[in-house]
Structure 1
Amino acid sequence: MDLGISGRVAVITGGDSGMGYASAEYLLREGVKVVLSDLKEKELEEAAARLAALGPVKFCQADLSSDAGARKLRDFADQAFGETPTILVNAAGVTGATGDFLEIDDEGWMSTIQADLMAAVRMARAFIPGMRTQKWGRIVFFTSEDAVQPYVEELPYCAAKAGLMNLTKGLSKAYGPDGVLVNSVAPAFVASPMTDAMMEKRAGELGVSFDEAIESFLEEKRPGIVVKRRGRVEEVASAVAFLCSEQASFITGENLRVDGGAVLTMAS
């Protein structure tokens, strides 16, 4: 299927590994030029070098905890290929503060919200004006099953992702008339550096192997995942590429779940 986006410029945050990296792979194969961003320059440089075999890639280290970081990335991306970026994939995020609600302080809440909600706000604010000028744009945020199915030990993350889901809908209403389509994908328990770290910690706490930690986590914590495995990054990336495409030109404001059935209700 021709996605109709060859030659466009995409900016991908959280792009040095996991689902962000896989999204870059898929878009490059469609002829898109990619600007990768993340916090660690060495890892970014290595990721860009690996991806270069697929197409044009440049990278920019940026800390999105401030407007200055988002503006730095926008200015770099505007110059990277001499064209205005019209695709934004915001894959950056953290698990953030976890534990008993009564024991998570304001700093834990605010650091999680900064990484998982406010960074996306800043990126949208930085890149939407250029998309409006072009009369064409695609934004894909990464929410989570947690946005509609909260887990009590991850409430800051859940609340931030719920806010991001609401932001997706609101931006789709505000800028759809300008040709800017805004959607989100909601993965659940995908094999990535973030969930690897979670399972390594769990394995240590339980005194079991990594694979046994995954198996017990699925059984005890994610019974809704009916396929009984972690997701693969390419399964999420293919959904991202579709939402960025001309084939999705009548889809906006949606939260596409890529979760193996994790969410137990019909809520979006």
Structure 2
Amino acid sequence: MKIDLSGKTALVTGSTAGIGFATAKGLALAGARVILNGRKADSVSKAADALRAAVPGAQVGTFTGDLATPEAVDALLVQQPSVDVLVNNLGIFGPQDFFETPDSEWTRLFETNVMSGVRLSRAYAPGMVQRKWGRIVFVSSESGLNIPADMIHYGFSKTAQLAVSRGLAKRLAGTGVTVNAVLPGPTLSEGVEAMLAEEVKRTGKPVGEVAAEFVKAHRSSSIIQRAATVDEVANMIVYACSPQASATTGAALRVDGGVVDTIA
């Protein structure tokens, strides 16, 4: 299968590292013009340089700003009023006990993980409808189905993304615009590596081995018994953004290594 997104513009939020950067690279390899996003100018610049090095000849745009805020979204729309592919990847996480999680933290995760995608989808979908083609992908998580006891506020935000993506897919029925959610499981991104850094230092084991042990201990239903790579997750996202995925919409596409124990 050859995915060709030549002539299309793709925005990937939160794309200076991890799943976001891997997705941006995959879309660029498919020929799309890719807009990278991050909160810090230096990280955005480094990511743009890395993408150009990884994909010679890639068309790369950038936007620096925290898209969890309406002000940054407004500024982005001035700079980039139209996109064909929107990957709502921006997200934050972190374990915190339910009884120690203040209102402000619930609001912070909701604004970042949910409302950033809501605002951008509301802004960009009408243009896609007018052009009779578009792709919107929300990067959710298996935690949206399998709510973690130590990150209930995170699981809540990821479930909310599933509700928005499914509902928006119905709202855009018959327009040529598809809306899907991709649900990674434990993934060896820079964020997860940072979370495991203390255990890596303590044991002297490679980070991949420590990640596999974490999966076996905390996601024991995993069938692959290891963390996925960011490229493995990006492959599913890129497919959902492709012309070939025209009959896939309103779906929750799991790249969780089989963590969610269901046949549906």
TM-score (norm 1): 0.91
Alignment of 1:1-268 (within 5 A): 1-53=1-53, 54=55, 55-78=58-81, 84-96=82-94, 98-202=95-199, 207-209=202-204, 211=207, 213-266=210-263
User: Contact 1:94/1:194 (CA < 8 Å) preserved in 2?
Assistant: no
Task: Tell me, in whole angstroms, the C-alpha distance in 1 between the residues paired with 2:42 and 2:122.
Answer: 27
Task: Tell me, in whole angstroms, the C-alpha distance in 2 between the residues paired with 1:216 and 1:31.
Answer: 38
Task: Tell me, in whole angstroms, the C-alpha distance in 1 between the residues paired with 2:204 and 2:212.
Answer: 10
| 1:265 positional shift | 2.5
User: Contact 2:6/2:31 (CA < 8 Å) preserved in 1?
Assistant: yes
Q: Spell out structure 1 runs of 4+ moving beyond 4 A.
A: 201-204
Unaligned runs of at least 5 residues, structure 2: none
The secondary structure found in structure 1 opposite 2:183 is strand
The one-letter amino acid paired with 1:11 is L
| 1:182 positional shift | 0.4
The secondary structure found in structure 1 opposite 2:15 is coil
User: Contact 1:16/1:37 (CA < 8 Å) preserved in 2?
Assistant: yes
User: Contact 2:136/2:179 (CA < 8 Å) preserved in 1?
Assistant: yes
The one-letter amino acid paired with 1:177 is G
Task: Tell me, in whole angstroms, the C-alpha distance in 2 between the residues paired with 1:8 and 1:241.
Answer: 13
User: Contact 2:216/2:222 (CA < 8 Å) preserved in 1?
Assistant: no
Tell me the equivalent position of 1:81: none
Q: What whole-Å deviation, never above 9, does each CA across 1:114-173 have from its counterpart, x for those lacking one?
A: 111111111112211221221111011100000000110010000000000110000000
Unaligned runs of at least 5 residues, structure 1: 79-83
Q: CA RMSD in A?
A: 1.6
The one-letter amino acid paired with 2:108 is S
The one-letter amino acid paired with 1:134 is R
Task: Tell me, in whole angstroms, the C-alpha distance in 2 between the residues paired with 1:220 and 1:244.
Answer: 34
TM-score (norm 2): 0.92
Task: Tell me, in whole angstroms, the C-alpha distance in 2 between the residues paired with 1:264 and 1:200.
Answer: 29
Task: Tell me, in whole angstroms, the C-alpha distance in 1 between the residues paired with 2:228 and 2:155.
Answer: 19
| 1:75 positional shift | 2.3
User: Contact 1:70/1:126 (CA < 8 Å) preserved in 2?
Assistant: no
| 1:176 positional shift | 2.6
| 1:184 positional shift | 1.1
Task: Tell me, in whole angstroms, the C-alpha distance in 2 between the residues paired with 1:244 and 1:50.
Answer: 22
Task: Tell me, in whole angstroms, the C-alpha distance in 2 between the residues paired with 1:67 and 1:89.
Answer: 17
| 1:202 positional shift | 4.9
| 1:263 positional shift | 0.8
| 1:7 positional shift | 1.2
